[in-house]
Amino acid sequence: MSSSFSPSNVTVVSVSYKSAPVLERMIASLPDGVKVIIVDNACEDAEALEALSGRLAVKVLTPKKNLGFGRACNLGAREASTEFLLFLNPDAAVEPGSIEAFLEAAGRYGPQTAFTPKIANSDGSPNFKRRSVLLPRSEWMPRGWPEEECEVPVVSGAAIFVRRDFFLSHGFDPSIFMYHEDDDWSLIVRAAGGRLVFLPSALINHQSGHSSGRGNLITRFKAYHLGKSKVYVFRKYGIPFPKQRLLVQAVWQLILPHNLFSSRKRAKHLGFLEGVRKPNKNFLSPEEMISQTKTPFWKVKRELKRLGRQFKSLPLTFYERFFSTPWYDWSCRNKIKCSDGRLPQTPKVAIFLVFPRNGLLPSHKRSLEYLIENGYSPLVVSNLPFTPEDELYLKENSWRYMERPNVGYDFGGYRDAFLSLREDLASLDRLVLVNDSSWFPAPGSKNWLVEAEALGVDYAAAATSFGISRVYPEQFEAIKWDYDTSLRNFHYGSYAVSIGPSLLTSKRFLKYWKRYALTAEKNKVVRRGEIGMTRFVLKNGFTHGATYDIRTLPEMLAKCTDEEINKYARNVNFLDDYPTKDIVDDVLPLLDATKSREQRESLTRFIMATSARIGISYVLPGFLMEKHGFCFFKKSLAKINKDNSDIALQLAETLEGEDGAIILQEVRDIRSQKGF
């Protein structure tokens, strides 16, 4: 053995799922000095594992929910501090001299090498991973152990010895809950120039299938994830028709005669079929799987009601698409009240849409001052009647103000205001659309109006949403930061848009507003309005951009201190996306950017994934204000739920000056109204 390494340089990482009964045997087989980290994925063995850690040098990590095998291994690796890791199943035992053999081999091979030992089943027969569904047959190896030390195409997740730094650079794919993560990891290592080596001098005895118990329920659960993972890795590696070919395999397995005589085989094949059919489900336990795959009568009744509502809504959908706007123009045009203010018209007009439920607030008036200070003539549009006091104020502080029926939400108001400007559009240098869904300007922010003009594009917004492919919250570590405006729901936020002359004088743009289908459903407003207007701009070749470029987020986060990364991650706003809230509650408490580079990277990727999933102007208002001088602070954050409101209050309390005082008071007023 190399004199530079000893067993104290090794941490064994083991993932426990109801595995307490077999863990003591595994731990007892390790030589003195080896550290042990157990990730308890079931959280049902807490007392037993606590007793185990009290008697032995064991660290137990207890996430609040089942992370799956790969993500639990990643967590254990991040918590380790030694140079080497040995990933080991709980039902395995290490034969004397094996750790020393690993260390000796590590001294001979380069740092980019992972080792797989000689694994024996409980009866002494070879347990050797000789092939993979992801590899061609030409790379498969003969049955049984190789006769000598050699490179292999894949390694088994039951026992992998690797340098910690190398593993953390190429961890298990967090999108894989269980099964085929070792196949995938092997291919990742090879693609990165690493080596996979079979080491016969290291021996592991493995009681396969005993780590999480036996029974039809657990068998079905495991088979479900086998099918789900197989669909995922087939898609990942471009294997053609993954779901179709696996469905054929699953159905064939299920109809074989031996299923009639074995309930365990029926459970296994039924679970595999379910995993192939519904790979987007994320069952974390057998009990959860059974409860969610049953279809109780109340759920059938609920779905029938839903279908009934959809059927009933068909006439309304048809009406909205083809008749709602003409009917509104015919029946409501005379209900629109438009008045002139005393401010002159300039070549720059700002349509400011408000919903003054409690009259014009100090923040409304501050926004109007901001627009006027920057040379814009405000056209104030309200979806509610103004009070007499508000009319007196607007008479002095606007170019024009308009009261309209509350039809079509923000885009209904934008439409009426835009069409009222038809005769003026050719003379405008700039038209801005803003609404009161945000407090603006934020204290100390950059001048967004100047920034938007400086972009020199036809269509400038403050920020974008959904330009990065989204991942499920539990898969945040797999986020890929590829910006793509062709993604289906990509759009520029309509709470702040600056439009240039080329677009204003386009007959097609005027036609877009004339034909815009008014709707009483908010989700349709987003699709037809925010997304629809963005699609129009892209489709017709107009130039476009945002003053905050989300593509720079990884670069900006890289410049943050560890303390700032912790702060931003723990203060993300999740709105009503409760799967993200689960990650905030269950995973984030286990991560600390000050502890290691890997934990900082995990928190950074969580911030990125949540921003891509929900929208950065909602998720990271504090980050945007501090690091970018962002001008807008979304009001919905103070009212949607107490968790988000608490974060909004903390941020508002840091804002300075008169503008900060206005925002803080209105946050407190909203919280009082909501009972937070």
Give the model confidence (pLDDT) of 197-256 as tens digits: 999 999 999 876 555 556 788 888 888 888 898 988 898 888 888 888 888 888 888 888
Is residue 149 located within the same domain as residue 61? yes
575-628: per-residue pLDDT in tens? 888 888 888 887 888 789 998 888 899 899 999 999 999 999 999 999 999 999
Residues 6+ apart with CB under 8 A from 368: 352, 378, 380, 397, 398
pLDDT(670) > 80: yes
The more confident residue out of 474 and 111 is: 111
Residues 477 and 386 in one domain: yes
Range scoring the smallest mean pLDDT among 30-44, 134-148, 284-298, 389-403: 284-298
CA atoms of 632 and 546, how far apart (whole Å): 13
- End residue of a domain, out of 185, 206, 227: 206
Helix (H) or strand (E) holding 188: helix 181-191
468 assigned to some structural domain: yes
Whether residue 159 is predicted with pLDDT greater than 50 in this model: the reply is yes
Q: Is 331 a member of any domain? A: no
Q: What is the mean predicted confidence (pLDDT) over 563-574?
A: 94
How many CA atoms are closer than 13 Å to the CA of 591, on its beta-carbon side?
29
pLDDT at 163: 95
- Do 490 and 406 fall into the same domain? yes
Taking only the tens place, the pLDDT of each residue in 79-103 is: 999 999 999 999 999 999 999 999 9
Q: Are 573 and 623 found together in one domain?
A: yes
Residue 64 in domain: yes
* Higher local confidence (pLDDT), 314 or 302: 314
Q: Is the peptide bond before 296 cis (omega within 30 degrees of 0)?
A: no
Q: How many domains does the chain have?
A: 5
User: What sign does the CA torsion over 625, 629, 634, 638 have?
Assistant: positive
Give the C-alpha separation, 434 to 495, whole Å: 5
Task: Give the per-residue pLDDT at 1.
Answer: 43
Q: What is the DSSP string of 355-399?
A: --BTBS-HHHHHHHHHHHHTT-EEEEEESSPPPHHHHHHHHHH-S
What average pLDDT is seen over the chain?
A: 89
- Per-residue pLDDT of 276-285, as tens digits, reads 888 877 777 7
CB of 417 closer than 8 Å to CB of 379: yes
Same domain, 544 and 617: no
Q: Does 2 fall in a domain?
A: no
DSSP 143-181: SS--SS-EE-S---TTEEEEEHHHHHHS---TT--SSSH
For residues 230 and 284, membership in a common domain is answered with yes
Quote the strand ranges of 414-508, DSSP E.
Answer: 430-435, 438-439, 459-461, 464-465, 491-492, 496-499
Last residue of a domain, one of 206, 229, 258: 206
Measured at the CA of 537, the angle between CA 532 and CA 543, to 5 degrees, comes to: 150
Q: Pick 622 or 522 by higher pLDDT.
A: 622
Q: Do the domain assignments include residue 631?
A: yes
Contacts of residue 235, Cβ cutoff 8 Å, sequence gap at least 6: 242
Does residue 315 sit in the same domain as residue 430? Answer: no
Tell me if 606 sits within 8 A of 476, measured CB to CB. yes
**Is 70 exceeded by the pLDDT of residue 566?**
yes
Q: How confident is the model at residue 55 (pLDDT cuts 50, 70, 90)?
A: low
Query: Is the same domain home to 222 and 354?
Result: no
Instruction: Please give the Cα distance from 462 to 494 (Å, whole number).
Output: 9
CB neighbours of 222 closer than 8 A, spacing ≥ 6?
178, 179, 212, 268, 271
pLDDT digits (tens, 9 = 90+) for 352-370: 999 999 999 999 999 999 9
User: Is the residue at 465 inside a domain?
Assistant: yes
CATH number for position 151: 3.90.550.10
The answer on 77 and 18 residing in a single domain is yes
d(CA 390, CA 394): 6
Identify the pLDDT of residue 303: 59
Give percent above pLDDT 90 in the chain: 62
Of 257-266, 426-435, 442-451, the one with minimum mean pLDDT is 257-266
Do 435 and 492 sit in the same domain of this protein? yes
Mean pLDDT to the nearest integer, 649-671: 96
Give the pLDDT score at 209: 54
pLDDT tier, 316 (very low <50, low <70, confident <90, very high otherwise): low
Last residue of a domain, one of 518, 550, 582: 550
Residue 1 domain-assigned?
no
Q: How confident is the model at residue 305 (pLDDT cuts 50, 70, 90)?
A: confident
Domain hosting residue 254, numbered range:
216-293
Q: How many residues does the chain have?
A: 676
Which residues 6+ apart lie within 8 Å of 312 measured at CB?
none
Amino acid 345: pLDDT? 94
174 & 143 share domain: yes
Beta bridge mates, 377: 349
Range name among 146-155, 244-253, 393-402 with the lowest pLDDT average: 244-253
* Banded pLDDT at 46 (limits 50, 70, 90): low
- Residue 156: the pLDDT is 93
Same domain, 426 and 497: yes
97: in domain:
yes
In the prediction, which pLDDT does 466 show? 95
Q: What is the pLDDT of residue 667?
A: 96
The CA distances from residue 499 to 41, 204, 375, in Å, are: 53, 68, 15
